[in-house]
Structure 1
Amino acid sequence: MTYIALLRGINVGGHRVTMEVLRRLFTELGFANVRTYIQTGNVFFDAPVQDRALLTARIEQHLEQALGYAVPTFLRSPEELEHLLVLNPFSHLTVTDDMRLCLMFLTDSAPTGLVLPLRSPKGDMEIVHLTDHEAFVIWHIIDGRAPATLSFLDKTLGRRTTTRFFPTAAKILAAARNS
Structure 2
Amino acid sequence: MTRYVVLLRGVNVGGVTVRMAELRELLESRGFAGVTTVLASGNALVTSDATGAEVKADIEAALRERFGYDAWVQVLTVDALRAIVEAYPFARARDGWHDYVMFVLDAGVATALLACELDPAHEQAAAGDGVVYWTVPKGDTLDSVLGKATGKAAYKPHLTVRNVNTLEKLLA
User: Shorter-chain TM-score: what band?
Assistant: 0.7 to 0.9
User: Which residue is equivalent to 1:64?
Assistant: 64
Number of aligned residues? 163
Alignment partner of 1:90 is 2:87: no
The structure that is helix-richer by fraction is 2
Superposition map of 1:132-143 within 5 A = 132-141=129-138
| Distance (Å, rounded) in 2 between the aligned partners of 1:94 and 1:40 | 21
- Percent identity over the alignment is 28
Q: Which whole-Å deviations, capped at 9, do the CAs of 1:33-65 have from their partners, x for residues lacking one?
A: 111111001111111012x22321111011011
Whole-angstrom distance in 2 between the partners of 1:124 and 1:54: 39
1:72 Cα deviation (Å)?
A: 1.1
Q: Determine the structure 2 residue equivalent to 1:103.
A: 101
C-alpha separation in 2, matches of 1:55 and 1:43: 12
**How much has 1:148 moved relative to structure 2?**
3.4
Distance (whole Å) between structure 2 residues aligned to residue 67 and residue 124 of structure 1 = 38
SS at the partner of 1:83?
A: helix
Flag structure 2 segments of 5+ consecutive residues without an equivalent: none
- Cα contact 2:150–2:159 (8 A) shared by 1: no
Q: Describe how 1:43-54 pairs up with structure 2 within 5 A.
A: 43-50=44-51, 52-54=52-54
Contact 1:60 1:73 in 2 (8 A): yes
State the match for 1:177 in structure 2: none
Q: Assess if the C-alpha contact under 8 Å between 2:84 and 2:129 holds in 1.
A: no
TM-score by length of 2: 0.82
CA distance in 2, matches of 1:64, 1:139: 33
TM-score w.r.t. structure 1 length? Answer: 0.79
Give the match for residue 16 of structure 2. Answer: 15
Q: Which residue of the partner structure matches residue 148 of structure 1?
A: 143
Letter of the 2:129 partner, please give it: D
